[in-house]
Amino acid sequence: MTPLIAHLSTTVSAPQAPTWVRLTELGAAVLFILALKGLSSPKSARRGNLLGALGAGVATVVIFFYGTEYYGEGLSNLKGNLPFILLAITIGSLIGWIAAKRVQMTQMPQMVALFNGVGGGAAAVVSVVEFSAPTANESKAALAATVFTVLVGAVSFSGSILTFMKLQELMTSRPVVLPLGRYITSLAGIGTIAAAILLVVDPTNTLLYVLLGMSLLMGLLLVLPVGGADVPIVISLLNAFTGLSVAASGYVLGNTLLIVAGTLVGASGTLLTRMMAAAMGRPLTNTLFGAFTAKAITASGTTEDRPVKSASPDDVAIMLSYARKVIIVPGYGLAVAQAQNTIRELVELLSAKGIQVDYAIHPVAGRMPGHMNVLLAEANVPYDQLKEMDEINPEFAEADVALVVGANDVVNPAARDDKTAPIYGMPILNVDQAGQVVFLKRSMRPGFAGIENELLFDPKTSLLFGDAKETLTKVVSAVKGL
Amino acid sequence: MDAISLLTIFILSIFVGIEVVSKVSAVLHTPLMSGANAIHGVVLVGAILVTGQSDKYSLGFFLGLGAIVLAAINMVGGFVVTDRMLEMFKPKAPKKDEA
């Protein structure tokens, strides 16, 4: 095995950076903790994020001051690689900056998935390079950490890329279950772990590439059967994976800051994933492997032919204008149609008529938990009109009209009543208890999770077909004309 | 630093990580995930380290540079997109007809 790096003493025996550099890194670690703390509360969230960015920036600068003993040939030199390193940082930063600035808020979840994926990829590559530069005193523990980074980083990379493709609708967002999928996944899992263990026992480059390939495959197999509304939970899980992978790479490199930062993300990410799964009312294992056991959802043709009651924008305008209490249920369809401003206009008109209007926000409305709050905040919808599920659910029985705009799964009574439904157990908004229900939909197509919604065929339900923005604009002018 | 010290740091960081986010409201799940995602972009530091120790034009050199690009995308993109999300959480002055 030819070492890629001539001399690199790793982990526990790594030479230390100057004291001031290490103290600065301690400061960066504290900034990361404050960042996560800040991000947990609405008031301090933005400052928290900026503190995190400051910590990351500081850490990136001081790494160049690790000095002669660490780099072997000194700071100004870095084996003559400094210009290339700076160029690579600039390129990466520019790509990240532009992508983050350009992405539309509706496409944010897949952007986060993509960023997470490249981070996991970076951690894996760092460890591949590290692996190929063994030193005589390298411990098995360090080797295990290296192998762990490669495995988890690669899973995170390929899994995140596939998640991105699902959300970007470059492929179906439905669960994909391969024939014998459960066995293939189990076999691949066992094989990957076996390769990892063998690699620790007897490190060879060939086996490393085998492990890399199998880990990438594992990432795909893990995400393929996850569908619809569960995809965000997987992003969060892969995010935690990348964190752990980064922590392990910190152990390999003997870098405390990487250990702290990676572990913080790994731990908080795991907790966050569990909270998200809880919001969907199902354990995490169900999210990941549910598709293997769930009965195939047959979109039977019979339901398509059943009669539905459709309404015109004028009908809806009258219905709304003569109500006392209206609850709006915004969904992803609203955001896709860029109709947030139109719905705000409608709400303002109705409020001016003395009608009580509230927005009912399901925890996973949109494509990620909290996504809908972000999308509506973008359209200057006041906070106090947004009501969370537990707060608004008792009020549906008193509401005259529930207006569902581009949402489907989060109001599907099947989640409450039908034990065989794949979304059974997910808490829903009790729209079916309102006096009248109006759905603004593009078509009869089922929602993201691909499940038929019985509520659409209920006698008290009216459907207004069309693009959410167009139809809402018509409703607004009809309300004005009354 | 010896292995036990590193292990100590690791274990304590787990508790801190869990503790600091334990009270987050559902509204902030997405920004929190995105912000945490940006923080692990600090693997950039590791990528710089291995590249700085690789011989020029070796395989490790090119892989290292690739890792730097990926990590920088993760870090910079992550913080910027999180900031964009959180920008909207500012308390709004009563300005209505802006958009």
d(CA A426, CA A431): 14
> In this complex, which of A251, A272, A341 lies closest to B32 when CB atoms are compared?
A272
What's the CA angle centered on A89, arms A84 and A92, to 5 degrees?
120
| Residue B10 in contact with partner chain A when CB distance is under 8 A | yes
Smallest CA–CA distance, residue A297 to chain B, in Å, is 29
Partner-chain contact B43 A249, CB within 8 Å: yes
CA–CA dist A400, B71 (Å, integer): 52
What pLDDT is attached to residue A364?
A: 75
CB-facing half-sphere around the CA of A194: CA atoms within 13 A: 6
Residue B70 counted as domain residue: yes
Which range has highest mean pLDDT (A30-34, A174-178, B91-95)? A30-34
Mind listing the pLDDT tens digit for each residue in A12-60? 445 567 888 889 999 999 999 999 999 988 889 999 999 999 999 999 9
Question: Which domains does chain A carry?
Answer: 11-293 (no CATH), 310-481 (3.40.50.1220)
Average pLDDT over residues A328-342: 85
Per-residue model confidence (pLDDT) at position B41: 96
DSSP symbol at B75: I
Query: Residue B16 is nearest to which of A49, A255, A264, comparing CB atoms?
Result: A264
- The answer to whether the beta carbons of residues A117 and A152 sit under 8 Å apart is no
Residue B4 maps to a domain: no
Q: Which residues of A are catalytic?
A: 409
* Mean pLDDT computed over A73-92: 81
Predicted complex ipTM:
0.91
Is B73 inside any structural domain? yes
Q: Give phi and psi for A30, each to the nearest 5.
A: -65, -40
User: Is B98 a domain residue?
Assistant: no
Query: Is residue B72 included in any domain, yes or no?
Result: yes
Q: For A78, which DSSP code?
A: G
- For residue A193, the model assigns a pLDDT of 95
The domain in which residue B69 lies consists of: 51-87
Average pLDDT on B33-51 reads 95
Domain count within chain B: 1
The pLDDT tens digits of the residues spanning B44-54 come to 999 999 998 88
pLDDT averaged over every residue in chain B: 86
Residue A314 has pLDDT above 80, yes or no: yes
DSSP secondary-structure letter at A178?
-
How high is the pLDDT of residue A134?
54
- A309 Cα to chain B: minimum distance (Å): 34
Distance in angstroms (rounded) separating the CA atoms of residues A50 and A39: 10
Q: Hey, which of A271-285, A375-389, B75-89 has the most confident mean pLDDT?
A: B75-89
Lowest mean pLDDT among A74-83, A256-265, A346-355, B40-49: A74-83
Measured between beta carbons, the chain A residues lying within 8 angstroms of B49 are: 63, 66, 253, 255
Q: Is B25 on the interface with A (CB under 8 A)?
A: yes
**CA A198, CA A196: separation in Å to the nearest integer?**
6
Q: Which helix (H) or strand (E) holds A106?
A: none
Q: For residues A452 and A44, which has the higher predicted lDDT (pLDDT)? A: A44
A10 pLDDT exceeds 60?
Answer: no
What CA–CA distance (Å, rounded) separates A180 from A288?
Answer: 16
Q: Evaluate whether residue B75 is within a structural domain.
A: yes
Nearest to A236 by CA among A331, A112, A151: A112
Q: Is B62 on the interface with A (CB under 8 A)?
A: no
Sign of the C-alpha dihedral computed for residues A239, A240, A245 and A250 taken in this order? positive
For residue B28, tell me if it sits in a domain: no
Name the band, by pLDDT with cuts 50, 70 and 90, for residue A182: confident
Mean pLDDT of chain A: 85
Residues in chain B with CB shorter than 8 Å from the CB of A141 are 3
